[in-house]
Structure 1
Amino acid sequence: MAGIHLLDIEAAINWWRRRSPSPDGINACAEVQALAEVYALMVYERREEQEEDAMTAEALMAWLDWYASTPDAPCIAICSTSQGDEVCKGCGRSFDEVQHWPRMTPAEKRATWRRITLQGTAWRFNRYAERAAPAPAEPPPRD
């Protein structure tokens, strides 16, 4: 079983802070409090991952609510594993990850997302990035 990375806990805390801001600038919502306890212990114990089954029900539900707001699959509909590649050129997942994605836990999916994002070699991170970038500004016409 994959653990939940510290950065995902942090992202979930920040998502909840935006979603349910503190009414007085001091007290946080219950979801932030539950996740902050997990986060603080991870930092204190210098751990990068937290097992799902070791979290309180409140913290896990808060994390799962954040997780539901994230993109599910990294697929860009160019699957080279269907052509025999062990690692998909489009999304960066292994053949097994592509095949077992529907059965993976949220933490396993996020671990896969983290790995392929850090690697940054799949087409989803480079080949098509230039298409999404704004066009360079045209120089002003010369008189």
Structure 2
Amino acid sequence: MAGIHITDIEAAINWWRERSPSADGLVACAEVRALAEVYALMVYYREPEADEDTMPRAAHEAWLRWVDSQPDAPCIAICSTAQGDALCKGCGRTEDEVQDWPAYTASEKRRVWRRITIEATAWRFNRYAERAKPHTGPEA
């Protein structure tokens, strides 16, 4: 089962709410409604992950659009796996995760992102955090 963690569903809902706010303050956009249905069922059944393969198409497409708005790889251009480390000091991925990253599905990538974010030991989260910040254009 390819699982999508509940925190990703919640982040996608919030991204869509910001991107497409309710015009009347009552009715959410179609993407939020689709994702909220999945989220509600996850909460009701106390499931930490949604099965990507059986997720309703509208919710899955809304989630994928959110994923596309996120950084793809956690790399900060300091790759210690190239120096023989089993776990990259820069991004926190294992050597296999670094090697196989291009072939990973969106949910597999998000699973790795979740793990390295929770661990927060990679340099991208502390020593070189400025490298991980999104570039917003020229400094004023």
- The one-letter code sitting in structure 2 at the alignment partner of 1:61 is E
Find the residue that maps to 1:23 and give its secondary structure: coil
Q: How does 1:3-14 map to 2 (within 5 A)?
A: 3-14=3-14
What TM-score, normalized to structure 1? 0.88
CA contact (8 A) 2:76 2:131 kept: no
User: Aligned residue pairs: how many?
Assistant: 132
**Per-residue CA distance 1:47-69 (angstroms, 9 max, x = gap):** 11112111011000000000000
Find the residue that maps to 2:50 and give its secondary structure: strand
Which one has a bigger Cα radius of gyration? 1
In structure 1, the residue matched to 2:75 is: 75
Find the residue that maps to 1:127 and give its secondary structure: coil
In structure 1, the residue matched to 2:24 is: 24
State the alpha-carbon separation in 2 of the partners of residues 69 and 61 from structure 1. Answer: 13
In structure 1, the residue matched to 2:97 is: 97
- The one-letter code sitting in structure 1 at the alignment partner of 2:42 is M
- The one-letter code sitting in structure 2 at the alignment partner of 1:53 is D
Q: Give unpaired runs (5+ residues) of structure 2.
A: 133-140
User: Cα–Cα, structure 1 residues 66 and 131, in superposed 2: closer, same or farther, change >3 Å?
Assistant: closer
In structure 2, the residue matched to 1:42 is: 42
How far apart are residue 127 of structure 1 and its match?
Answer: 1.2
How far apart are residue 2 of structure 1 and its match?
Answer: 3.6
User: Cα–Cα, structure 1 residues 91 and 23, in superposed 2: closer, same or farther, change >3 Å?
Assistant: same
How far apart are residue 82 of structure 1 and its match?
Answer: 0.8
User: Cα–Cα, structure 1 residues 65 and 92, in superposed 2: closer, same or farther, change >3 Å?
Assistant: same
State the alpha-carbon separation in 1 of the partners of residues 78 and 8 from structure 2. Answer: 27
User: Cα–Cα, structure 1 residues 119 and 64, in superposed 2: closer, same or farther, change >3 Å?
Assistant: same
In structure 2, the residue matched to 1:135 is: none
State the alpha-carbon separation in 2 of the partners of residues 2 and 119 from structure 1. Answer: 21
CA contact (8 A) 1:17 1:28 kept: yes
State the alpha-carbon separation in 2 of the partners of residues 131 and 8 from structure 1. Answer: 23
Extract structure 1 runs of 4+ deviating beyond 2 A. Answer: 129-132
How far apart are residue 130 of structure 1 and its match?
Answer: 7.7
Find the residue that maps to 2:93 and give its secondary structure: coil
What TM-score, normalized to structure 2? 0.90
State the alpha-carbon separation in 1 of the partners of residues 46 and 25 from structure 2. Answer: 28
